[in-house]
Chains A and B, each alone.
Chain A
Amino acid sequence: MRLSGDLMKMSGDVMKLPGGMMFERFSRPAREAVVQARHEAQTLGHKHLGTEHLLLALAWQPGGAHDALVAAGLTRERIAEALTGAGALGSADADALKTVGIDLDAVLSRITETFGSDALRRAMPAGRRGRVGVSPRVKKVLGLALREAVHLGSNAIGTEHVLLGILRDGQGRAAKIITDAGVSPDALRRVLVDGLGQAA
């Protein structure tokens, strides 16, 4: 029941896409991934649903995009690591803190000793939980996913198309996480398109 409520809310957001794009055109796993992306953003305390949350959600349930990501070494854990590192206290923060005499690694390892390894992720500095807005880039990516689906002759937008949308856009946090992990967007794209071809 919770899911359908979220779907309604999400579809409200997504239907504001240019071209009158309908949430109905998403496959069930793709819809669930978009809903999951919202939960990811909320859990991290982020105010916007960005492409990075979408990527994290795509790596959640086995199937299309998930399998291609895992094959490329981009597991959910790896994406989460890249995301939380960049979102809160990243290497740029560590360098900056060094200039004022603070060893961030020492501080963080002390925290982990006391509160457990998951404590930092839960305590992420962020806005209050609440309404999570969909970023313009996510809307653009979902629009590109539709175009990919049409172009590839699919009758629904699958998780593969959403990931293809992220790659096509090539900007944003998700694309950066992918390239920072040393994954070639072109190679990932080929894996996705091949996988879709086999399924058809």
Chain B
Amino acid sequence: MNELAAAASGADVRTGLRAALALRRLAETLEALQVGNARRQNWSWQEIAEALEVTKQAVHKKYALRQET
């Protein structure tokens, strides 16, 4: 966890920023996966939005056009 502290505290700015980018990509991946899963299980956009703590419009705009391929 020393590494974590070092990265998060910005001891090495570049490393810290890169970690933030990687976390964002991972979060986006997980979100997309789980939103797709929720939709397949017939969750409404409203329910998904509440779970993600965003507006229904935001989640709909981001995912509604994505089709399963």
Q: Does A92 contact B25, Cβ atoms closer than 8 Å? A: no
Would you call B33 and A115 a contact (CB within 8 A)? yes
Contact of B25 among A43, A93, A98 (CB under 8 A): A93
Decide if B36 touches A123 in the complex (CB within 8 Å).
yes
User: Which secondary structure dominates where chain B touches chain A?
Assistant: helix
Contact A96:B62 (CB < 8 A) given known A43-B69, A119-B33: no
A101→B1 contact, CB < 8 A: yes
Q: Establish whether residues B22 and A111, one from each chain, have CB atoms under 8 Å apart when the complex forms.
A: no
Q: Is there contact, CB below 8 Å, between A107 and B4?
A: no
Give the Cβ gap from B19 to chain A, nearest Cβ, in Å. Answer: 5
B22 x A93 contact (CB < 8 A): yes
A181 at the interface (CB under 8 A from B): no
Q: B3: CB under 8 A from chain A?
A: yes
Seen from chain B, the residues whose Cβ lies within 8 Å of a Cβ on chain A are 1, 3-4, 6-8, 15-16, 18-19, 21-23, 25-26, 28-30, 32-33, 36-37, 61-62, 65-69
Q: What are 21 contact pairs spanning A and B, CB under 8 A?
A: A89-B26, A93-B25, A96-B15, A96-B21, A97-B23, A97-B26, A99-B4, A99-B6, A99-B16, A100-B4, A101-B1, A104-B22, A107-B26, A115-B33, A115-B37, A122-B68, A123-B30, A128-B61, A128-B66, A129-B65, A129-B67
